[in-house]
Structure 1
Amino acid sequence: MTAKDDYLYFAGRALDGMAAIVAGLGDELANERPALPGANSPYALLTHCVGVIDYWSGTLVAGRSVCRDREAEFTAAGPVAPLLIEVAAVRERLAGDVAGARCDAPLHADPDRSFQGPVRHLDQGGALLHVYEELAQHHGQMQILGDLIRAGAAS
């Protein structure tokens, strides 16, 4: 197995875990926000992760033009099925981006500072690690969100 295969395995686990949580919550609960200041819905959080992947691996690593509205990601809502289709598509794009990445090569553009990425110079490998960082942290966050939403729905 190559390091790129390992990367895709672990990134895929986090992405699949989030998709399973959203699918398990269904259309109504996946769009709920727990009664916590600044909390996101699982749907919005997964939408954000799709945006993270497309921007950081698509634009910065692969050089694709991606139109991203980061703020809108956190207010996104809708039916689960189309989002899960988009998750499968972004996972395929990520696999292609990782396959073509040269980890020590420069990025195709400077990261947009408003996207709150790392505050240091990154090469393509660093940008891919940032994608994994985002997926891992948001997967854990979504596990807690799902528990809170299910507990609120049960009471």
Structure 2
Amino acid sequence: MQDQNEYLYFLRRAFDGMLDVLEELGDDLANTRPPLPGANSVYAIAYHCAAVADYWTGHVIAGREIDRDRASEFTATGHGKDLHRQVDELFEQLKADLAQVTPSSSPRNTPPADFEGPDRPLSVQGVQLHVLEELAQHYGQIQITRDLLKQGASS
């Protein structure tokens, strides 16, 4: 078993940043899509990130059964406080999922080919890097989306 506290620390930093933006915007603006083709709301992006972490860690690494509807993640709406609670619960589950694995071990499941992700078999560490990659890029997307929404709100 490997201590996963450092990994979880960096995941939490990314999620806390996203949740801070949700709080800053309030529910109405956080659920608003900026006026750009294909843009997603801040809430939907953060919700998607929770699903990413749950799926890739819980299902791919730990072997939990997860019923994921990836397409619906991008249209999700809700309250920031509820998502914050969901992320807190997710972190308890992630700790349990990672408690029995080592970075060099093989994940218990392979993701479907239509899910975006690395195009080769990964170790547990590779899956973890993918999750961190996704969260980092989406946190940046949330920051840009926040700036666009705030600019539009003040125009």
For the aligned pair, the TM-score class normalised by the smaller chain equals over 0.9
| Distance in structure 1 (CA, Å) of the matches to 2:136 and 2:87 | 15
Counterpart in the other structure of 2:98:
98
**Could you report, residue by residue, the CA deviation over 1:72-118 in whole angstroms, capped at 9, with x for unpaired residues?**
00010122221111111112222222332221111111111222111
Deviates more, 1:96-105 or 1:120-129: 96-105
Counterpart in the other structure of 2:62:
62
**Could you report, residue by residue, the CA deviation over 1:51-91 in whole angstroms, capped at 9, with x for unpaired residues?**
10111000111111111000000010122221111111112
Counterpart in the other structure of 1:85:
85
**Pair 1:11–1:153, CA change in 2 (3 A):** same
| Distance in structure 2 (CA, Å) of the matches to 1:62 and 1:3 | 15
Mapping of residues 1-155 of structure 1, within 5 Å? 4-155=4-155
TM norm structure 2: 0.93
| Distance in structure 1 (CA, Å) of the matches to 2:129 and 2:153 | 36
- Deviation >6 Å, runs of 4+: none
SS in 2 for 1:105: coil
Q: Which runs of 5+ in 1 are unaligned?
A: none
| Distance in structure 2 (CA, Å) of the matches to 1:99 and 1:74 | 30
| Distance in structure 2 (CA, Å) of the matches to 1:33 and 1:118 | 28
| Distance in structure 2 (CA, Å) of the matches to 1:96 and 1:17 | 23
| Distance in structure 1 (CA, Å) of the matches to 2:57 and 2:149 | 31
> Percent of pairs identical after alignment?
48
**Could you report, residue by residue, the CA deviation over 1:113-154 in whole angstroms, capped at 9, with x for unpaired residues?**
222111111111111111111111111111111111111111
Q: CA RMSD in A?
A: 1.4
Structure with higher helix content: 1
Give the Å deviation of 1:3. Answer: 6.5
